Structure 1
Amino acid sequence: MTAVVCGACGNRVLCEKFGPAHIQVQWTGDAAVLCPHVGAAVAAGRPGGRVRGCPRLGEAVEAAVREGRLRETRRQEPGPPEPGPGGPRRYEPGPAGSGPAGSGPSGSAPDGSGPGGFASGPGAAGDER
């Protein structure tokens, strides 16, 4: 995240830009104390979490984008899990009411499929070979 400082009050926030219309702003302290705009809204009875932001801080964020200090980040979604030893693993839930998977004595699921209720490798339950 990139630090951006408001030109009006000097408040410092952390920002990340994910697209043309999506900028995440993370306040580094209590916004109602740090920002006069948010503080005035809270003093007037508005919950701090409902204040959409400060127009002056928005100008500082836009300036950071224009000046190249805040660049768009490409978020990479995780891919499919890598197969473990013995080949790909498939989720196979245990019998109803048997408790959470992986609760057996040695980390095995109650149905004996292994840790986390996954069956693996050739011949595993549900294998359609």
Structure 2
Amino acid sequence: MHKEAITIALPSLIHRIGRETANQAKAIATMHGCELKRVRRSRNWSLVGEAIKVQSFNNQLKTHRQDELAEIPLSSTEFRYLIQKIETALLGHADKLEPLEAKLIRLITETPSITLAELIQLTQCTEAQARTARFEADTW
């Protein structure tokens, strides 16, 4: 469930941020295990990767942008479009950003009467993972 790749559409990326900035973003995405690529032969691009890796890529873009702003005037908006598109898309994948163990413990603490079968159905975890989470939630 957490290892599924998500795809974020980035229409007209080059026109919005420029080729050099797109190439920098592509290199940073590759470092984080994501793929920033053109959609066939169109002007549209897409970002593909696991939700957690996409989130770390987005955080890297934010810090890279802040470092660049120290040297470049404040009117520079290098990665702003890309950051906003990624943040908006990640809102729909919030369930994939939380580690499975944390999600199990959260579900157990929110509804203490939840059964193991319900936990397994909600999170697609194994019975052993559900039992371990139940034990850890009880010891807290």
Is the shorter-chain TM-score for this pair beyond 0.5, marking a shared fold? Answer: no
User: Quick check: which one's strand share is greater?
Assistant: 1
TM-score (norm 1): 0.23
TM-score (norm 2): 0.22
User: Quick check: which one's helix share is greater?
Assistant: 2
Larger Rg: 1
Whose relative contact order is higher, 1 or 2, with alpha carbons under 8 Å and at least 6 apart? 2
